Amino acid sequence: MTTCDVLHHTGTDASTVVGDLTTGEGLPNAAYDCFICTQTLPFIYDVHAAVRGMAAVLRPDGVVLATVPGMSQVSREDKRDWGDWWRFTSQGAERLFREAFDHVEVEAHGNVLSAAAFLYAYAAEELTERELAYHDPEYELLITVRAHGVRAAQTGLR
């Protein structure tokens, strides 16, 4: 049987779990095979605790799939509601996730054209696939993370 939950810190109409990744409050331990976290870490001040929280909700063979921004504009609404704290590099994301996981794969995506287009609010459809696919390690626009193998010391927050 496949089920999925939607986590939100304060709860929304779409959320099925209300909890805090940084403290573990409201979150089940070792409950999920996969935890997907997209573009969320910039708005959590204690990112180290949040990554430990992701590890704590995973079953022993579970995996985290995450994305974080390399370059991005400030999110006014999130800044107002939560704070807008971080932007990442592939090196920083790898080190952050290695604190809680034995196996971490990180990839950076982007180039100067895609970064400029993003900052000018162009849609991806306004660039060709070739322009989007070109990788320039000096312009990390989006960073993807696949982490698994929860370190034993990281399995419980509470």
pLDDT recorded at residue 13: 81
In tens, the pLDDT along 58-117 reads 999 999 999 999 999 999 999 999 999 999 999 999 999 999 999 999 999 999 999 999
pLDDT tens-digit profile of 122-152?
999 999 999 999 999 999 999 999 999 998 6
Average pLDDT across the chain, whole number: 93
**pLDDT above 70 for 44:** yes
CA distance 42 to 92: 13
pTM of the model: 0.91
Answer with the residue of higher pLDDT: 107 or 13: 107
Q: CB neighbours (10 Å) of residue 30?
A: 14
In order of start, what are the domains of the chain with their CATH numbers? 7-108+142-154 (3.40.50.150)
Residue 154 has pLDDT above 80, yes or no: no
pLDDT of residue 158: 43
